[in-house]
Amino acid sequence: MKVLFAAAEGHPFVKTGGLADVIGALPKALKSAGVDVRVILPKYKAIPEAYTSQLETVAVLEVPVGWRRQYCGIQKLVLEGVPVYFVDNEYYFGARDGIYGYMDDGERFAYFSRAVLECLPVLDFQPDVLHAHDWHTAVIPLLLEGHYRQDPYYSGMKTVFTIHNLLYQGIFPYSVLGDLLGLSDNYFLGVEYYGNISYMKGGIVYSDYVTTVSPTYAEEIRTQHYGYGLDGLLSSRSDRLVGIVNGIDTKAYNPSSDPQIYTRYRSNLVKKAENKTGLQQELGLPVDGSIPMVAMVTRLVDSKGLDLVLRVLDELLYFDDIQFVLLGTGDPLYENWFREAAYRHPSKLSAQITFSDALSRKIYAGSDIFLMPSMFEPCGISQLLALRYGSIPVVRETGGLNDTVQAYNEETGEGNGFTFLNFNAHDMLYTLRRAVSYYHQPEHWRKIAKNAFAGDYSWNVSAQQYIDIYSEISE
């Protein structure tokens, strides 16, 4: 089985969110299961020199973008046994500091998607399955049908499209269909979105199979509230739509071997507590092992439920004996609010408005409780990392949070966290206080932590589900 992953970002080369974690970890799990899997990414300016210095040019070609013909270099390296190709174009990717957010993103990723298909005959790799991820590569199945399907080289290729976040669809003017994708109006219905075109819709319509990143999210996006205008289409494809929970790289994220945390441990809460002491010292909080530490590592955007936190955080810090640690960047409104809150509560709140992988690991290892009150969360990686490091999640029952965190039942001793259903600040506050109450009951807390440490958060099970889909569509 030969599979090519096409995506806009991938760890450790370039990362803005959970998509990169998937592209960095899932191919390794598939390779371990016997799949010949490779990855193709844009070659951004932001990719560290440690990787770009290893790149070898394997092909040079021209790529049609509507009526234009653009330069394309294909460079390659092998990382942990997985070949990774990079599409090199200075104008679209190499000369820009950022990854997304440009006025010509529609053109940039039309070019990249076309380049993925154009380069295949010269790579000495003919995939059985093209696996596209999110809107940036969603038009690959569409372009395959519109430009390549009659060519015997491409005729047997199958396509899988994974929705990581339906909110971001890649919506562009109608003119893009012909001007950038080089397709006739015969294809307009398959991408039409209120008079414009949606790259995401093209991926859903033209792929052989559609996946998303958790079973609950697969159900949610078929409703009007979460479907963003595509719920009817997704419902019509329900026989070829499945949710598969993301995993994490359990080798890279392993508290027993992580070199970036203060004290390594496997499932020993005493050793874990030494990490809290180190974190309290580093962040300038009072060093006290008896005080529960609540943490958030998140992008500071409204979808992460930060409005709920803002509503009750002062109340929580005034009246409850806790410490609160936040790490993240995003909307200046939230950044400034947390800075000011830290000024008001210097002995209880540390707001780290930055991005730091090393500090995030220290927070997972040092915190007792991990808060994720998301408005929606297709899968979520942070709660899996928290569980891996024994920080007990408090989450809203949405998307992948609902699939991976089970509420603690004091009668049976089952459950690895605490959950609430309604998007309501005081429901969140009540649940957080319930978690804190169990923190002060060591016999219960040890059971919850044991359940957290015992979970399998690897990609092994999920990778097999993807292999089953590849096999089904290739028969």
92 and 230 assigned to the same domain: yes
Q: Which alpha helices (H) appear in 33-159, and where do they start and end?
A: 49-52, 105-119, 139-143
Does one domain contain both 240 and 279?
no
In a domain, 264, yes or no: no
185 and 89 inside one domain: yes
Q: What is the DSSP letter of 216?
A: H
Q: What is the CATH number of the domain that holds 364?
A: 3.40.50.2000
d(CA 451, CA 139): 42
Q: Are residues 243 and 274 in the same domain?
A: no
303 and 164 part of one domain = no
* 110 token code pair: 């039309």
Helix axes 425-439, 442-454, angle to 10 degrees: 110
Q: Do residues 466 and 447 both lie within one domain?
A: no
Q: Taking a C-beta distance cutoff of 8 angstroms, is the pair 417, 396 a contact?
A: no
Please indicate, yes or no, if residue 63 is contained in any of the structural domains. yes
User: Which tokens go with 204?
Assistant: 């859903």
The span from the CA of 193 to the CA of 179, in Å, is 17
SS3 407: strand
Q: Domain of 351?
A: 269-454
Angle between helix 442-454 and helix 269-283 axes, rounded to 10 deg:
100
Residue 16 has a pLDDT of 86
pLDDT at 225: 93
- Beta pairing class for 2-6 and 349-352: unpaired
| pLDDT, position 124 | 85
Per-residue pLDDT of the chain (475 residues), as tens digits, is: 999 999 999 999 999 888 999 999 999 999 999 999 999 999 999 999 999 999 999 999 999 999 999 999 999 999 999 999 999 999 999 999 999 999 999 999 999 999 999 999 999 899 999 999 999 999 999 999 999 999 999 999 999 999 999 999 999 999 999 999 999 999 999 999 999 999 999 999 999 999 999 999 999 999 999 999 999 999 999 999 999 999 998 998 999 999 999 999 999 999 999 999 999 999 999 999 999 999 999 999 999 999 999 999 999 999 999 999 999 999 999 999 999 999 999 999 999 999 899 999 999 999 999 999 999 999 999 999 999 999 999 999 999 999 999 999 999 999 999 999 999 999 999 999 999 999 999 999 999 999 999 999 999 999 999 999 999 999 8
Q: Is 465 found in the same domain as 447?
A: no
Task: For residues 436 and 468, state if they share a domain.
Answer: no
Q: Which of 132, 96, 100, 91 is nearest to 113 (CA)?
A: 132
Q: How far is it, in rounded angstroms, from Cα 339 to Cα 352?
A: 8
- Kindly state whether residues 304 and 442 are assigned to the same domain: yes
Is 68 a member of any domain?
yes
Rounded (5°) CA angle 178-184-187: 105
Same domain assignment for residues 306 and 162? no
Residue 408, in any domain of the structure: yes
- Amino acid 228: pLDDT: 95
252, part of any domain: no
In a domain, 259, yes or no: no
Query: Helix, strand, or coil here: 278?
Result: helix
Number of structural domains the chain divides into: 2
Task: Please check whether residue 198 lies inside any domain of the structure.
Answer: yes
For residues 3 and 33, the answer to whether their CB atoms sit within 8 Å is no
* Residues 213, 358 within the same domain: no
Type and span of the H or E element at 203: helix 199-206
Contacts of 120 (CB under 8 A, 6+ apart): 4, 126, 127, 153, 154
In terms of Cα–Cα distance, which of 462, 357, 465, 459 is closest to 25?
459
Examine residue 385 and state whether it is found in any structural domain, yes or no.
yes
Regarding whether 410 and 284 lie in a shared domain, the answer is yes
